[in-house]
Amino acid sequence: MEIQSQQAVVRPASTAPAAGPAAPETGRRRWFGLLVVCLGVMMAFVDVSSTITALGHIQDDLHVTASMLVWITSAYSLAVVSLVMSAGTLGDLVGRRLVFAGGTTVFVAGSLLAFLAGSPGVLIAAQAVMGAGSAAVLPTSLGIVSTSFTDPHERTTAISTWASCSGLGLAIGPVLAGALLEHFSWHSVFLINLVIGALALVLTPLFVTESRHPSRKLDPVGVVLGTVMTGSATYAIIEGGATGYTKAPVVAMYAVFAVSLVLFLRAELRHHDPMLDLRLFRSSSFSAVMGVAAASMFGFVGVSLLGVLYMERVGLVSPLGVGVRLLTMFGPYILLSAVASRLVRRLGFAATLTAGLLLMGAGALALLATGPSGGFGATWPGLLLAGCGAALLAAPSTAAAVNSVSALQASMAASAVNMARQLGGVLGPSVLGTIVTSHFPRNLHHRLVDAGVPGAQADKVVAGATHGGSTAGLPAPLARVLGTAVPGGFTDAVHLGLLVGGIALLVMAVPTALFVRHKAPSR
């Protein structure tokens, strides 16, 4: 079955509250409602980038181990990926505005808990709570946009605005977090979410119209199996990257994933109103779009993380300085995301998405020009290319998925594409970050031994360096060797991560060019 062209008329249901023609006031209200739900989306992405910016301060203050540090950011992603499909279904059943507001409330509560956290365990739990809130905010916000704007052209423009706000959240997160970290502790970073969330909660009942699926039925088996399936796979990816993929708990989680996947597919194919209509994936185009959505966040979050690590660990840049420098990547993302719908109308989805993957892949590979000096001159071209490429992927991939289905399936498609994006967001830092953290000790050890440091002493130095130890107290000759070996070894590890990420993005461009056959919506 080939997916519908975006030039086809989207079939709104007469009973769907937001699907019919709007009066002038309602039309203006739709755009105000769009801005309100975009606040929720921005809040969700601010947390991602601001937490990454604050990781160094969190590790120093709470004395967090490397494996536990991974979970401070990954607990958020695990909750989002595990719950996003279920939350989208819940929004269809009880009301998207209601679930959006509920998710925002949960997110604010998690932010408050993170602000008050005094131990790694509490902070990880707070991130999981925020992830649960984000899982409700993301699909319902996109579902609200999709049902409010039923014209394909308007919908693509609205989704471009939605995607721009996710980029805006990623962009302002490091800047605001860096400014706060200059004067306050890392706890203050989570106040950003409180302010944005409170504003969204106040404005939601004023401007966002309630909508729900008129005939959707609960699929409890699909909800449970889908949550177990995505949660087990995500946990295995994250924990495997931190401790090793052959560890017994990781292997057990992959077994759980395999069993739950088979049961989920069987249950969804038999259910008359499934949580996820698997028939959509009969279209090679729709399946390719899901791959693009995952690859876009894999590259965007992964390259961002490696850029942050490089600037902090090699360039020794302050958190505020890192945030400002990242605007080289996030600025073009915001600007181009706002006009991505025009590019889609001119070039079509296949060309736009392929170009985005090629640009982002080229940006990752361009960052291989960075050296152990940590200078920004070799860093900004790669960040710029990656940001431009990401802008051509976020909104067009989401619009391609949502515009390809009927209005009644818009929320389902929104949940599916959000799950794919969040899975990519997990894979990016988990895979690429693990490459860096696992290869840095080896690189450093080799460099120390090559410089004449005895093997036993090199082991001790590597153990201290990988846990953030300083060179104070070391003999002057060893301190000098370490001052050269650490940035060199870390740069080599970052380069390997960038090489893997860049190649993955370029490879994904091939099926995108071959199978995505959507046309741009015409006026």
Domain with 429 in it: what CATH number?
1.20.1250.20
485 belongs to a structural domain: no
Domain count, the chain: 1
Give the CA distances from residue 415 to residues 75, 144, 363, 426, in Å, rounded to whole numbers and listed in that order.
19, 12, 29, 16
Q: Distance between CA atoms of 215 and 413, rounded to whole angstroms?
A: 16
Q: Distance between CA atoms of 103 and 80, rounded to whole angstroms?
A: 11
| Mean pLDDT lowest among 16-30, 226-240, 340-354, 393-407 | 16-30
pLDDT, greater one: 361 or 339: 361
- Residue labelled with tokens 């969204």: 200
Q: What was the pLDDT predicted at 352?
A: 93
pLDDT, greater one: 498 or 427: 498
pTM as predicted: 0.77
Tell me which DSSP letter residue 279 carries.
G
pLDDT of 13 over the 70 cut = no
Q: Distance between CA atoms of 425 and 326, rounded to whole angstroms?
A: 18
Average pLDDT over residues 426-442: 80
pLDDT, greater one: 140 or 418: 140
Q: Distance between CA atoms of 163 and 330, rounded to whole angstroms?
A: 12
Q: Distance between CA atoms of 232 and 255, rounded to whole angstroms?
A: 9
pLDDT (tens digit per residue) in 71-104: 888 888 888 888 888 888 888 889 999 999 999 9
Q: What are the strands, taking DSSP E only, across 16-161?
A: none
| Structure tokens belonging to residue 192 | 């950003």
pLDDT of 4 over the 50 cut = no
132 belongs to a structural domain: yes
72 belongs to a structural domain: yes
Q: Distance between CA atoms of 318 and 487, rounded to whole angstroms?
A: 16
Domain membership of residue 395 as a residue range: 24-219+273-441+491-515
461 belongs to a structural domain: no
pLDDT of 226 over the 80 cut = yes
pLDDT bin (cut points 50, 70, 90) of residue 407 is low
Q: Distance between CA atoms of 395 and 349, rounded to whole angstroms?
A: 11
Helices (H), 318-372: 319-347, 349-366
pLDDT bin (cut points 50, 70, 90) of residue 473 is low
> What is the radius of gyration, based on Cα positions, of the chain?
23
**Nearest-CA neighbor of 100 among 350, 92, 523?**
92
Question: Do 344 and 523 meet the contact criterion of CB atoms below 8 Å apart?
Answer: no
453 belongs to a structural domain: no
pLDDT of 53 over the 90 cut = no
- Residue labelled with tokens 């994933």: 257
Average pLDDT over residues 448-462: 82
pLDDT of 508 over the 50 cut = yes
351 belongs to a structural domain: yes
3 belongs to a structural domain: no
5 belongs to a structural domain: no
Average pLDDT over residues 397-409: 72
- Residue labelled with tokens 């249901």: 13
Q: Distance between CA atoms of 305 and 434, rounded to whole angstroms?
A: 11
| Mean pLDDT lowest among 203-217, 231-245, 495-509 | 231-245
Tell me which DSSP letter residue 275 carries.
S
Q: What was the pLDDT predicted at 522?
A: 44
User: ∠398-345-8 over CA atoms, to 5°?
Assistant: 75
How many alpha carbons lie under 13 Å from residue 191 in its C-beta half-sphere?
A: 10
Question: Do 8 and 69 meet the contact criterion of CB atoms below 8 Å apart?
Answer: no
pLDDT, greater one: 115 or 50: 115
CB contact burial 251-272 (16+ within 10 A = b; e otherwise): eebbebbeebbebbeebbeebe
* H or E element that contains 160: helix 152-183
The helix-helix angle for 394-402 and 380-391 (nearest 10°) equals: 20
Q: What percent of the chain has pLDDT over 70?
A: 89
CB contact burial 191-226 (16+ within 10 A = b; e otherwise): bbbbebbbebbebbeebbbebbbeebeebebbbbbb
| Structure tokens belonging to residue 125 | 């739990």
3-state helix, strand, coil in the chain (%, to 5): 80, 0, 20
Give the CA distances from residue 82 to residues 136, 142, 229, 474, in Å, rounded to whole numbers and listed in that order.
11, 18, 8, 47
| Structure tokens belonging to residue 67 | 């494996």
Tell me which DSSP letter residue 359 carries.
H
Contacts of 22 (CB under 8 A, 6+ apart): 29, 30
